[in-house]
Every structure is written in structure tokens, then in C-alpha cells.
Structure 1
């Protein structure tokens, strides 16, 4: 695929007895959206994510047009991942010691400036490959600070009882962006890469202005000097929270083993013989399933047995991966990928509730940084694992093995993390 995703993070069933609710119904019926600042938060997060998606498509196509090198595409990913990896733990410390809103505003301002700068270089014909690498490196560094800080906003905007519903709405919007962003990015690229960067810079500006409108209330936090103990405090905290550690690590290994989406071009071409249009359907299917499930969960959030439901959703993720791997029918493959995306949303909502509600405010930045590193790494390493295994044993065995591995992880984690299996209500999670 001739583009590289810059975002990290970048992931069920309908309402019982009423059919799957429409997105408009969710947005109009959810009183949680009346919470002060929540709309501004959703705009900031998702407009910034939209800009990232468009920028990802643009960077990939442009670097390939300049170099005609597959290795150059890999260097784009490395240029973005390396600063994130190097800065994620110090960033968590900084987020917990300083004004989180200002950190996000500053990062979005730098992202805006970087997008406009590369737009100018593209427009004048002065852009070289090193300029693109510099852009994604700056972007990766900004995301290392912006994402952990931004992830601490939602618990301060809504109550614990409203958090699962607000998280589902946020996830629903993010999945819409995941569908629209790459598609629109490809269309905009037809008008020229400079137009794409203009749209990205403008979107980052809108996100920054929305962040300035947030009125966040954080408890007073004692300052801690920079030290190894403080920088790696998120890891030490997770070691004392088995349910939270189990949720994060299970998601890491499930996505790592079940990275079937990395092989979609191969499946569309050689196995399903679906062509470019079929590839588009396959790529959109997980996000479409995720949107439907997130909308249903926004209207009917989890009430009881959250831990068991999370384990069930990961198991369904594995079964759907196996079904996709064995399918020779485009409709069946699309349905399997939709189920896969829907199941992923359930586990994500439970994980987010555990991480954000179960972490004291003074630790949220560092724990969110660890969570971001785990989830971001699992997406990238999962694609690498699937590609390498497919080259060794073939695409179908690789996908099936990944799905079976996900089921094995589910069984093992149920035995190793009984505290997670015993989790009942999400709205009773506290940082005690």
C-alpha cells in the first residue's frame, strides 16, 4: 500500500429489540453531550485525527512519487516511530507535571506550522525527501506529548457514570474519521499535495482553537523532580494494578497476533480477486463495524460483567480473524472484518475506562503514555508480524495462526488475570 499511517492509534451488535441506532439518533439522544466542554473535546480530538489521516495518505504518495522506493516508505514509518518511542516516557512525566491543555495546544500549533511549512515547500518545488522525513519526525515528537495529555481530558469532563457512553461516542466519531480521512485524502491528492497540506494545517488550527475553549478542572498535583522513578512511574503503577495491566497487555497481544488487515491488499488481489474496489470495501469494513458498535454502546452502555464481556469480545475478534482468513467470498470477508472491528471497540471501551477511571489524576499522563506505547506498537508490530509470517508460510495460514493465537491469549489471560475477569460495572471503577 503506497502510504503509511502516521497515527498510533489509530481502531457489534445493535440495540436489543430496537435495531441498530442511527448515528444521528445517538448524537441527539445522548444527554452526555450536554456536558460542558465535551463537544469542544470531540472536535479537537477528531479534527486533529482527520488531519493526521489526510497527512498520512499525502506523505506516503508524495515520498513514493519523489523516490519510487519501497524502502523510503519504511523510512517514513521509522522517522515517525523513533521520536515517539524515545520521548513517550519523558512525555508522560511532563504531562503529569504541567498544564495538559497548554501542552496539547502547543503540540497542535507545531503540527499546524509543520503542515503549512511543507505546503510552502511543495508549492515552490523546494521539497526534498529529507523534508518529508523531518515533517513526520516532528509530528511523531508532538504526538508523544499530545496524545497522553489529551487522553486525560475525558475523565475531567464527564462523570464516571457517563464515561462509558462518552467514550463510545468518541470512539464512534474516531472510526468515522478513520473511514473518511484516507478516502478524502486520496481525492485531495488528485488536486495536488500542497492542497492536502493546506487542509491539514487548517484542520490542526481548528483543533487548536477547540482545545483553547476547554475548561478543564484537574486536582492540584504535587511537582516531582525528573528522575527514573518518576519517568517510569506508569510502568510501576501498572504492576500494582493487575486488572488494568491485563486489559492493556491482552489488547497488545491480540492486535499483535491478529494483524490481518496488513494483508488486505494481498487478499483482495490474489485470494478474493476483488480488485481495487474490493480492497476499498475490505479496508472500510473494520471501521464500519466499529462505528455501528460504538453507536450502539453510546445508547446502551455496558451495565454488568464488563470483564467477561471484554474477554468474550477478544475471543470473537480471534474467531472473526480466522473466518476472514479462511473466507473465499468477498461478502463473507467484509462481514468478518466488520465483526472484528466491532469486537475491538468493546475491548477498547473497557480498557479506556480502566485506564482513565482507575488511575489517579497525578498519574494519568504516565499511564496514558504506556497505554499509547503498547497500543501503537501493537498495530505496527502486528503488521510486521503478519507480513513476515505470510512470507514464510503463506497468507491464509498466517491469518489463521494469528486468530488461533488470539484465542490462546484470551484463555491464558483469563487464568493469569482473574481480577480482570471479575470486573463488573465500569461506573464503579475508582483510582483507590
Structure 2
């Protein structure tokens, strides 16, 4: 008996993954060092939360525009231009940090500007792998994309923490070099074989800006999957507090912080690597919700430990669970969205993801200021578990999804 041929993943997708690795290593490594720098300057958890707000606001405010641009123009060029802007900001951060600064205002302003460029990069970056993926390869491509991103989240914080010990300004210069490498690799990625959406008239452009949000709201599976990530990680996201956890709870410095942040990528990366070989096929809706529950439990346990090793293990477990849920969501959302609308829908999803990560950072900072560090982490983990219980009851359509192909969207007539 002949086994069916497994479709090959094109070379251009592998190049895109390597480009994504350099970009994510630079972005995650840099923001980890920004958090360390801010903590060293003020020792205030609330300032760590303000970094999250600076990262989130541009993504939220510009989402209608960035999604429309990702649908109207070549997504490779949109991504390259956005990354070029990030390079400029990294160089400006390098120049400012070299002056041995005492004010946080320029740092927050530059992070805000960095996030403006990131908001344009996100929908194009999310859509490109799906655009390039031949039929039958979507699950593997999504897993590989996640592996490249998580590889960056492992390498970036570790490398940048050692650079920070050597010279506090050096990580920002290396970030600019890494982002430039990612841009150069994009030139080798072929143009995706998708139809670009061309709206006619100003009114149509304005209408398109909100069409992605309306489409998500009308599609229970999309709405449930995306909002689950928003509220669960909004409560459970403690990454922003890692500089405080490292110093106050675990008694480690910059290098220890780098390993804590890298353990997120290690847990997620190993999980995604295994999913790239053996992707999930059945009961994907139930597994999505279950994994968010595991994430919440690991967060609660993290609040209780003062052991560096145990903290590493718990962050690893939380990241692995989050990686499974991210894999499921990253497969469901593009498949349930018609290709000519992916930019707009993924831009809205980027707001939800940004809200869960960056607003989660703000929530953690405020909660830590009010409840203390341990209280804030416990509150976040308990909130995540409450979200899991509510979403299990509120979104039966999401819970009932069995296979990814069950949600593939037909062409959408606008």
C-alpha cells in the first residue's frame, strides 16, 4: 500500500522563518533589557507596567489602518519597512542609554515609537506564512513559525543579558543589527500567490478599517478563541514582573533574569518543535481551553516559590501550555478567515494579543503596587482560571471544534 505524499514546505517559508528568528530575538531581547534598565533606575513595579502600556497603545489605535495596509499592499514590503523603523528606534535607544540617563521619559517615548512600527509589522508577519503555505502544510508551517519565534525568545534574552553585563548600551546596538539581518533575508522570500484587496474610494477604506472587527464578532469560533487569549493572559501575564521576581523573590541578577525570560521560549520552543512533527489533529477546541487552565495553575504555583530552579520549571510549564494554545489559535484564526480579509482580521487579533501581553503587563504592575508582588501573581492566576470556566460555558462552538479543517472559511463577498 502506498502512503500519501506529504506536501513539501517551500524554501521561501524557511527563509521567512530565519528572518523571523532574528527579528524576534532582537525584539524580545531588547524589551527584556528595557525592563531591567527601568527596574534598576526606579525599583518600581508600576514603571514596569507602564512599559506594557507604551507597547500596547499604538497596536490598539492603529489596528484598523495596519490591517487594511497589510491587505492592500505586498506584505513582504510592509514588513520590511516596519522592521526598518524598528532599527532606527533601536539605534536611538543605543544613543540615549550611552549617556547614562536618569529620566525614563525618553525611554517610554522610544518604546512607544517602536510599537508604532511593530503595529504595522504584526498583521503582515502573521499572514505571510499562511499566504505562502501550500494546501496540507498549514499546521506544520504554523508550528515552524512558532518555533522560529520561540527560538528568538530563548536566544534574545540570554544573549542580551550577557551583553548588558558587559555594556548597558550594547544590547540596543545588537538589536539593530539583528533586525537589519531579518530585513535582508526578506528579500529572498517570494511574493505570495494571493489576491490583494483593492478598495475603491475613501468611504470604502474607512469601512474596511472596521470590517475585520465585525467579521470576528459575527464568527463565534474566532471571537471565542481570540478573546480567550485576551482575558486569560491579561490576568495571568507575569512576564513584565520578572525583573522584580528575579531580584526580590529569587535573589538573582541580570543573567538570572535572562534565563527566566528565556525559559518562556525554551518551554514554548520545545513544544512547538514537537508540534511541527506531530501537530494536533483532534479535539482542538477542548485542548485550547484546557491548556489555558494549565497556564493559570502554573502561574499560581509561581507565586508560591522562592526557588530559582522551581521558578524556571514553572515558567517552562506555563510557556509550554501557552504554546499549545497559541498553536491552536494561530491555526484556527487564519483558516477561519477568507484570504482577502486576513490582514484586517489578524490586525484586530494583534490588538487582542497586544492587549493580553502589554495590558497584562500594566495590570501586573498596578496589581503589584496594590497587592504586593506575590498577591499580584496569585490574583492573575486565579483570574485566568475563572476565565477558563466562563469561556467553557459561553463558547460551545469553540469547545466543539474537532479538526482544524472543519473551520476553513469559504470566499467572502464584501
TM range (shorter): 0.7 to 0.9
SS of alignment partner, residue 213 of structure 1: coil
Match of 2:64?
Answer: 89
Q: Is the 8 A contact 1:311 1:421 kept in 2?
A: yes
Structure 2 CA distance for partners of 1:175 and 1:85, relative to 1, 3 Å:
same
Cα offset for 1:63? 7.2
**Distance change (3 Å), C-alpha of 1:33 and 1:137:** farther
Task: Structure 1: state its 5+ residue gaps.
Answer: 1-30
Q: What does residue 17 of structure 2 align with?
A: 42
Give the secondary structure class of the aligned counterpart of 2:274.
helix
Superposition deviation, residue 323 in structure 1: 2.3
- Counterpart among 336, 360, 363 of residue 314 in structure 2: 336
Report the Cα offset of residue 52 of structure 1: 1.8
Within the candidate set 118, 140, 144, 1:169 is matched to 144
Q: Distance in 1 between matches of 2:366 and 2:102?
A: 33
Answer yes or no: is the 8 Å Cα contact 1:121–1:127 preserved in 2: no
Q: Deviation of residue 348 (structure 1)?
A: 0.5
Mapped contact 1:118–1:127 kept (Cα < 8 A): no
1:278–1:111 CA distance, 2 compared to 1 (3 A): closer
1:185-241 Cα offsets, whole Å, 9 max, x none, are 232245546644443332222211211211111125342444442111111000111
Task: Pick closer, same or farther for the CA change 1:143–1:220 going to 2, 3 Å.
Answer: closer
Aligned-pair CA distance for 1:385 = 2.2
Alignment of 1:320-399 (within 5 A): 320-399=298-377
Which residue pairs with 1:26 in the alignment? none
Range that drifts further, 390-399 or 169-178:
390-399
Contact 2:241 2:364 in 1 (8 A): yes
| Separation (CA, whole Å) in 1 of partners of 2:10 and 2:120 | 26
Q: Secondary structure at the match of 1:37?
A: helix
> Residue in 2 aligned with 1:9?
none
Q: Paired residues, what number?
A: 400
The alignment's C-alpha RMSD in Å is 3.2
Q: Which residue of 2 aligns with 1:418?
A: 396
Q: Is the 8 A contact 1:76 1:136 kept in 2?
A: yes
Q: Measure the CA separation in 1 of the matches of 2:261 and 2:183.
A: 30
The 3-state SS of whatever aligns with 1:150 is helix
Tell me the secondary structure at the aligned position of residue 232 of structure 1. helix
Work out the CA distance in 2 between the residues paired with 1:333 and 1:372: 29
Change (3 A) 1:300 1:329: same
Change (3 A) 1:334 1:184: closer
Q: Kindly tell me: are residues 404 and 114 of structure 1, through their superposed partners in 2, closer, same or farther at Cα, counting changes over 3 Å?
A: closer
Matched, 1:102 2:50: no
The one of 169, 172, 181 aligned to 1:206: 181
Q: For 1:137 and 1:411, locate their aligned partners in 2 and report how far apart those are by CA, in whole Å.
A: 35
